[in-house]
Amino acid sequence: MSAPEDGYRFDGLAEFVSRRARVKLVEMLLGKGLSIKEIAAMVGVTTRSVRRWLNRSETHPCNKNLDRMLCLAWQASPSLTFELLRDELCIFAALISDATKNNFQLGDDQR
């Protein structure tokens, strides 16, 4: 798939991966036996950055770093990476469906 030609920057798949899934990717890589130090070196960031990504209230990987992490995750486990991305797609599809059914009205918890 090529980038949109409307003049806006488009970061590809990374544009559609939530904060939650970005944390799950780091957790998955750790679960596959990589250390924080190894993840940091392979992604090109500091170990402090990776530790902060694991704290859900902190920062998360930017799109450029997420692209690198997705490549690393695919090498570590194509099936788990695919499952995580598919789950993201299902969540987004459900959100779009709910929003259109409700004519994009905000719920009480979103006002």
The reply to whether 110 falls in a domain is no
Residue 80 has pLDDT above 60, yes or no: yes
The reply to whether 109 falls in a domain is no
| Cβ atoms 60, 19 nearer than 8 A | yes
The reply to whether 85 falls in a domain is yes
Instruction: Count how many domains the chain has.
Output: 1
The reply to whether 32 falls in a domain is yes
Residue 2 has pLDDT above 60, yes or no: no
Residue 110 has pLDDT above 70, yes or no: no
Predicted confidence band of residue 103 (pLDDT cuts 50, 70, 90) = confident
| Cβ atoms 73, 29 nearer than 8 A | yes
The reply to whether 98 falls in a domain is yes
Measured CA to CA in angstroms, residue 86 lies from 1, 6, 81, 106 at distances of: 17, 27, 9, 26
| Cβ atoms 82, 71 nearer than 8 A | no
Q: Which residues constitute the domain of residue 32?
A: 12-104
What pLDDT is recorded for position 60? Answer: 86
To the nearest whole percent, how much of the chain has pLDDT over 70? 85
The reply to whether 42 falls in a domain is yes
Angstrom distance (rounded) from CA 80 to CA 69: 13
What pLDDT is recorded for position 4? Answer: 61
Residue 77 has pLDDT above 60, yes or no: yes
Residues 12-62: tens digit of each pLDDT = 788 888 999 999 999 999 999 999 999 999 999 999 999 999 987 888 888
CATH number of the structural domain spanning residue 34: 1.10.260.40
How many C-beta atoms surround the C-beta of residue 106 within 10 A?
A: 9
The reply to whether 1 falls in a domain is no
Provide the mean pLDDT of the chain: 88
The reply to whether 3 falls in a domain is no
